Amino acid sequence: MDLRVKDICKEQNILFKELAERIGISDVALRKQVQGNPSLRTLETIADALGVSVVELFEKPEPSNGITCPHCGKP
């Protein structure tokens, strides 16, 4: 499963460790969840902590001109 959690964290300037703290688990556990097959409840928790919808955890943003910022990854 290819989730955009790392990309969204980078866009919002949130460390993975900070996200893990927000949802009350260790950063190692969060990494395992993101790389594995997380439950819908876990996806909802992550999405809520990031202020995005669950769908946004899966969607890849369409670049407007194909150029992305090397610092934040935004188009």
Read off the DSSP letter of residue 18: H
Which pLDDT value is given to residue 64?
A: 58
* 45-64 pLDDT tens trace: 999 999 999 999 987 766 55
Return the percentage of the chain with pLDDT > 90, whole number: 61
* 13-27 pLDDT tens trace: 999 999 999 999 999
Decide if 23 contacts 45 (C-beta within 8 A). Answer: yes
Q: Please say if the pLDDT value at position 1 is more than 70.
A: no
